[in-house]
């Protein structure tokens, strides 16, 4: 499947996807898009030889039109948001409904929006994590695909928690993209499907108990689903 990646800053999730895709014939990265000409991720995309588009995002409508034309130019079939800090307007989803995914650094539906780690610590939560979901008009509210659960430690600061969660983002996101590209996961009628079954709960990787074989399968570290 032809995949485009949109980012606004550091680009570490994009890097993990580019690295993983090197060994995955079903994931073909056809381009990267950013709204930020100073984004560190630009250098990462260049190093991987990925065509990079830097585009202005003046209004949601003009940004959206540019983004759509870039995706068409590249023949992209799946748009992966990896730290893309602009909200896509409703017009985007007239075409790109069910073909855009995002990663969010919390266990959605908890802590939509920004400053998730601060809010997790303020609430005294024992667990946090990250979520991969299809993107719909509802901000951080589209159907879930997969989550990694991460233990919150009593000594955690927002930065230490963010770093631990990010480590699992880098494993979860490429694996979920692979499941979409190979056709195992899809989107229909505002639901996530696992093959022909509605996925009522996301695929969960619980990192607190070590990673099981089944979890290794979902993260692409094993070819055996048991």
The yes or no reply on residue 112 touching ligand GRF (CB under 6 A) is no
104 given a catalytic annotation = yes
| Residue 86 tokens, joined | 């602009």
What distance in Å separates the CA atoms of residue 181 and residue 224, rounded to the nearest whole number?
18
Q: Which of residues 18-77 bind ligand GRF (CB under 6 A)?
A: none
**Looking at the DSSP assignment, which residues form a beta bridge with residue 129?**
149
Catalytic-labelled residue, pool 104, 117, 133, 170:
104
**How many residues belong to the site for ligand GRF (CB under 6 A)?**
14
Helix or strand holding residue 171 (H, E): helix 158-181
7 binds ligand GRF, rule: CB under 6 A: yes
Work out whether 169 is an interface residue with ligand GRF (CB under 6 A).
Answer: yes
* Between 11 and 202, CB nearer to ligand GRF: 11
Piece of 10-18, 20-28, 62-70, 191-199 that binds ligand GRF (CB under 6 A):
10-18
Q: Nearest CA to 49 among 33, 27, 68, 32?
A: 32
Give the nearest residue (CB) to ligand GRF. Answer: 83
- 141 interacts with ligand GRF by CB under 6 A: no
CA gyration radius, the chain: 17
Burial of 206 (0-12, 13-18, 19+ CB in 10 A): middle
By CB under 6 A, residue 202 contacts ligand GRF: no
Contact 35, 66 (CB under 8 A): no
- Provide the binding-site residues for ligand GRF, judged by CB under 6 A: 7, 9-13, 82-83, 103-105, 130, 166, 169
Which active-site residues does the annotation give?
104
């Amino acid at each position: 499947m032809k995949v485009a990646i949109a980012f606004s800053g550091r680009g570490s999730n994009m890097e993990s996807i580019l690295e993983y895709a090197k060994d995955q014939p079903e994931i073909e990265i056809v381009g990267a898009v950013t709204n930020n000409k100073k984004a560190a991720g630009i250098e990462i995309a260049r190093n991987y030889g990925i065509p990079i588009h830097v585009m202005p995002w003046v209004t949601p409508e003009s940004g959206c039109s540019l983004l759509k034309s870039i995706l068409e130019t590249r023949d992209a079939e799946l748009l992966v948001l990896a730290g893309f800090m602009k909200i896509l307007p409703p017009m985007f989803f007239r075409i790109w409904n069910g073909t855009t995914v995002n990663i969010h650094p919390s266990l959605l539906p908890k802590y939509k929006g920004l400053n998730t780690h601060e809010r997790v610590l303020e609430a005294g939560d024992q667990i946090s994590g990250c979520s991969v979901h299809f993107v719909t008009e509802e901000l951080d509210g589209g159907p879930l695909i997969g989550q990694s659960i991460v233990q919150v430690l009593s000594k955690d600061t927002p930065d230490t928690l963010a770093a631990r969660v990010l480590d699992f983002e880098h494993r979860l996101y490429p694996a979920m993209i692979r499941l979409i590209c190979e056709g195992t996961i899809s989107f229909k009628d505002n639901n996530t499907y696992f093959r022909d079954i509605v996925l009522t709960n996301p695929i969960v990787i619980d990192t607190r108990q070590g990673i099981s074989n089944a979890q290794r399968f979902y993260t692409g570290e094993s070819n055996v689903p048991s």
